[in-house]
């Protein structure tokens, strides 16, 4: 693990444990000595925690855990750790087709309907980080177009007065295909992460299904211990 990532995760752990009196972090010099790293490494770790909204620096006072900060199961990943102004999307394709039986299951359709399928690449700091292939029901989003796809899909959904509830995400290892390797400027068969998302509204309806392929993907979670789940998995000998 890189030194910066270790510092980030260790600080997250200490923040979660409420080890910092009155939410104030030690100064950079003290942390550099404690972690035996350069002040630059500390500055980069602090910058990440600021960008994901966990801490703030108050001029002349120091660094503090934000009072409104709440521990979510997903703390950050490759994209969520980056401010929106440094993330962009590039349109690749958009097509409308009749739904397949699998898509009808995903979107809980009673019969065949038109489904949008679009592809785009996600760019962070001018570097292509992810390839995204998504599906959305035409009946819910009839005006989806190239311009919208190159912007925030979440903002687009909210503009339609839909209430977003949560996401069901699964991760699996994969190898880059020839097409993917060309887009990501990597070698074919390079190991990558495949990320599947089902995006749900508060009424329980799936509004988007996406598959993302990413290289150099990282994510950090804090999840509560599920005692009932643990007990249910135990086997009686």
Mark the ranges of the chain whose per-residue pLDDT is less than 50. Answer: 236-237
pLDDT for 237: 46
pLDDT for 69: 67
pLDDT for 76: 65
Mean model confidence pLDDT for the chain: 88
pLDDT for 52: 79
Domains and CATH numbers, the chain: 3-70 (1.10.10.10), 84-221 (3.40.1410.10)
What's the chain's length in residues?
A: 237
| Sheet (strand 114-124) strand order | 87-98, 114-124, 127-137, 206-214, 191-201, 164-175
pLDDT for 232: 58
Check: pTM over 0.85? Answer yes or no.
Answer: no
Q: What angle do CA 72, 73, 74 make, to 5 degrees?
A: 90
pLDDT for 4: 87
């Amino acid at each position: 693990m890189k030194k910066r990532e270790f510092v980030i995760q260790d600080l997250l752990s200490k923040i979660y444990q409420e080890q910092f009196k009155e939410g104030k972090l030690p100064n950079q010099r003290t942390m550099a000595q404690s972690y035996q790293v350069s002040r630059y490494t500390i500055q980069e770790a602090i910058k990440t925690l600021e960008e994901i909204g966990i801490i703030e620096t108050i001029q002349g006072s120091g660094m503090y855990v934000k009072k409104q900060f709440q521990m979510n199961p997903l703390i950050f990943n490759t994209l969520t750790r980056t401010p929106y102004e440094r993330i962009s999307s590039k349109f690749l394709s958009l097509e409308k087709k009749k739904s397949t039986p699998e898509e009808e299951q995903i979107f809980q359709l009673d019969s065949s309907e038109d489904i949008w399928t679009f592809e785009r690449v996600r760019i962070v700091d001018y570097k292509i980080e992810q390839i995204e292939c998504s599906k959305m029901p035409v009946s819910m989003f009839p005006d989806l177009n190239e311009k919208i796809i190159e912007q925030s899909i979440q903002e687009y959904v909210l503009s339609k007065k839909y209430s977003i509830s949560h996401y069901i995400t699964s991760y699996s290892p994969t190898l880059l295909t020839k097409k993917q390797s060309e887009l990501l400027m990597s070698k074919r068969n390079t190991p990558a992460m495949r990320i599947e998302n089902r995006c749900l509204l508060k009424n329980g309806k799936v509004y988007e299904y996406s598959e993302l392929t990413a290289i150099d993907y990282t994510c950090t979670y804090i999840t509560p211990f599920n005692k009932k789940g643990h007990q249910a998995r135990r086997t009686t000998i």
